[in-house]
Structure 1
Amino acid sequence: MADLASFVVILFVCLNFYSLCLTQDVPSKQEILPTVVIEKLFEKMDTMQKRIEQLENNEKAMKQSIINLIGTDAQLRIKIQDLVCKVDDSKNKDDINDSVVKTSDIGEDAITKRSRTKRQFSGTVAFTAYLDHLVKVGNDQPVVYNRIILNEGNGYSNNTGTFRAPVTGIYMFSWAVTARRLSGQHAYDVWVKLMLNGSHMTGTVAESRQEADDNQGSNTAVLRLIKGDEVWTAHYSSAPDIYGDDNERSTSFTGALLFQEEEDIDPIGK
């Protein structure tokens, strides 16, 4: 502030001198304002300019420091949240272990209830079935694969062609359909879609253009199912014939549980 006041005084003197020069004859500059004073004035100006630049640099540095602090704060918040989650998970695991140990002391009813809780299913869920004869299926009607090769978990019914999920989890389904133009028939397409609780998931098509021309369409889907969800394949085209044969077994339906999940998500189509 003292430097600024000195600069203002010197500047005021210079302005008065310049005004005096314009209005009247005055002695030389050396007589009124010595060279030393002018040099001092420029030195002050240079000093103030450097300080202004220094202040600007300090301001930029402070802004960058604030940005860095904000980023560090956000990272710390994330790490704290992760630690809280890990502590909660560890506490939940300890609670589960404690409850398992205590089941021997709380009676048969409690043990039975415990066996029905989440992630207690230890069996395999998988099935494969095929169609062994030619069928005529109406639009949106299920395709019933009547011959079962595998049905672990008893989720598939060869009476209805429907799979019912015994546990909640991620499942994979694959199905194939065959079209064969028989003698006297016109060329046709067969479309079959995968259904989950009545909702169309994905589809496939098989085309037969020439007589005795065999063509197969297939598809695969991975779905999240709640226990009790139903999955089936349904016909959805004008051509009713779906070809099946006990030797070729080219029209089939397969599903398998990939891994089990908890039961706290909303089912599709219900």
Structure 2
Amino acid sequence: MYLSSTKQIVQTLSANEEYDKNLTSRLNEAAEKLENLEVQMRYTSLSLLDIQSLTEGLNGSFVKHIEEKINGVYEKLTNSSKRVAFTAGVTSASYSWSSGTLMYYKVINNVGGGYNPNTGIFTAPVGDYVFYVSIQGYDTNNIYIDIVLNGSSKVRAVAYSNSRDQYDVGTNFVTLRLRKGDTVWVRHYRGTGYWTDSDAPRTTFS
């Protein structure tokens, strides 16, 4: 009877030990799976953060791109509203003109209103400008004219005619950097007279 009880106890202990081993193995497997799950969750979180960061970056770049486009359009509109350009011409010829400012009364274009046909003078806002002048001599007369900035001659156009070459044409142009309020006009230098047409002027200032 005693031997039988002892044997049963040993068998029970062995069974419990085997059970403990199985339980320990299962617990280890569960712990390993839990660890793997935590690692996967960690990488998933990092991936989500990366996606969020990338999305924010793309959104930031897109917004910046749109802002640059809007600023560019605004700048173009602003600059176009500040553009200045003019062309004016003489509509009646003169055989005897020999001094002073050449008056271009016919205004063909005057964007920005810088040219005054009553004075023959262009008054500038700030900027760089190209001025062009043309003059046709009267018959065999010679005529010299200057483009003038604030009273100082910058370039000269000459229409030099003779008995074999009447109604010659002289042209010239100049680029000037102007400050606000600077004035530019065309002034007589030497010679007499000029020729033009009333419908489409030959003697012009731009």
TM-score category of the 2 structures, normalised to the smaller one: 0.5 to 0.7
Which residue in 2 is equivalent to 1:155? 114
Alignment partner of 1:208: what SS?
A: coil
Which residue in 1 is equivalent to 2:192? 240
Question: Is 1:138 aligned to 2:98, yes or no?
Answer: yes
Give unmatched runs, 5+ long, in structure 1.
Answer: 1-118, 182-186, 255-270
Deviation of 1:208 after TM superposition, in Å, equals: 2.2
Question: 1:169 aligned to 127, 130, 148, which one?
Answer: 127
Deviation of 1:129 after TM superposition, in Å, equals: 0.4
CA contact (8 A) 1:180 1:211 kept: no
Compared with structure 1, are the counterparts of its residues 211 and 146 closer, same or farther at alpha carbon in structure 2 (3 Å cutoff)?
Answer: farther
Which residue in 2 is equivalent to 1:114? none
Give unmatched runs, 5+ long, in structure 2.
Answer: 1-77
Alignment of 1:14-33 (within 5 A): none
Question: Is 1:127 aligned to 2:92, yes or no?
Answer: no
Cα offsets for 1:124-162 (capped at 9, x unmatched): 2000001011134333x1101110000011110111110
Report the residue type matching 2:87 in the other structure: T
Deviation of 1:163 after TM superposition, in Å, equals: 0.3
Distance 2:97 2:85 in 1: 26
Deviation of 1:243 after TM superposition, in Å, equals: 1.5
Question: 1:250 aligned to 189, 202, 205, which one?
Answer: 202
Distance 2:150 2:169 in 1: 26
Report the residue type matching 2:137 in the other structure: A
Which residue in 2 is equivalent to 1:221? 174
Which residue in 2 is equivalent to 1:201? 154
Deviation of 1:123 after TM superposition, in Å, equals: 2.1
Deviation of 1:210 after TM superposition, in Å, equals: 2.8
Distance 2:91 2:165 in 1: 17
Deviation of 1:120 after TM superposition, in Å, equals: 7.9
Between Structure 1 and Structure 2, how many residues are aligned?
128
CA contact (8 A) 2:145 2:157 kept: yes
Distance 1:203 1:130 in 2: 18
Q: Which runs of 4+ in 1 moved over 4 A?
A: none
Which residue in 2 is equivalent to 1:71? none
Alignment partner of 2:137: what SS?
A: strand
Report the residue type matching 2:189 in the other structure: Y
Distance 2:113 2:172 in 1: 23
Distance 1:122 1:152 in 2: 9
Distance 2:80 2:199 in 1: 36
Alignment of 1:47-196 (within 5 A): 122-135=81-94, 136-139=96-99, 141-165=100-124, 167-181=125-139, 187-196=140-149
Distance 1:232 1:222 in 2: 14
Compared with structure 1, are the counterparts of its residues 228 and 243 closer, same or farther at alpha carbon in structure 2 (3 Å cutoff)?
Answer: same
